[in-house]
Structure 1
């Protein structure tokens, strides 16, 4: 990973961070990371592949963070969410400085969802998370 992708940026820079991450990830392979809901299934498969090789979490942490930010950006672009700085209680609860606030006011932690999928072989599907997400905009939000 590029050194500027090692940590999460400020909320105002999140879209640029995700754009750089996707460009770097797709530079050598043709992964269809197009910010669609369907692309979250690919994120599921990528995380499963990472887990299969059994690396230490610290080795893949920047990559997981990037996939989580990508998942959040799908929520922003497709469900009407927006990136927000978390308050101290939310930071402690989520272990992240940023989250996505949905139109109904709920705050979600897509970065943590990716980490959870990596940590456990559970049903933490990111595509399913999105499809069951409370507070989405009633009509799909146009891609930006």
Structure 2
């Protein structure tokens, strides 16, 4: 799946939830809304493979929130090879030099529940990104 398709999947996820009480505005706070949706699936013991479209949409949305708020980028399919001709949707993101796989995280959230919170995932990613940027800035200033 190419980057523009991932962004389109996120947009479709938002549109699908537009007439519900779920507010998806690409803010960091909206991650909690997705987390709650996935928590419901966890409590109903839904297999992520049975809700593939939801996994793709949620992962695309979470990745887009990260990209927009933390400055991450999607790795093109031909950059990492993981998506080339693969039947499984699991594109890689790069945030401050670190690799993330939002689809894997969404599946783990459904399977493992609150132990794999998307809110904590986002907060941890934000903390690491800020630290990496601070180190890079410090190195630039000392050079």
What TM-score results when the alignment is normalised by the length of structure 2? 0.76
For residues 25-104 of structure 1, what are the structure 2 equivalents within 5 Å? 25-26=17-18, 28-85=19-76, 87-88=80-81, 96-102=89-95, 104=96
Partner of 2:138: none
May I ask how many residue pairs the two structures share in their alignment? Answer: 126
Q: In structure 1, what is the Cα distance between the partners aligned to 2:116 and 2:75?
A: 23
User: For structure 2, which runs of at least 5 residues remain unmatched after alignment?
Assistant: 135-143
Bigger Rg, structure 1 or 2 = 2
Distance 2:110 2:5 in 1: 25
| CA distance in 2 between partners of 1:117 and 1:56 (Å) | 11
Normalised by the length of structure 1, the TM-score is: 0.75
Question: Structure 1 unaligned runs (5+)?
Answer: 1-8, 140-144
Over the aligned positions, Cα root-mean-square deviation in angstroms equals: 2.4
Relative to total residues, which structure has the larger helix share, 1 or 2? 2
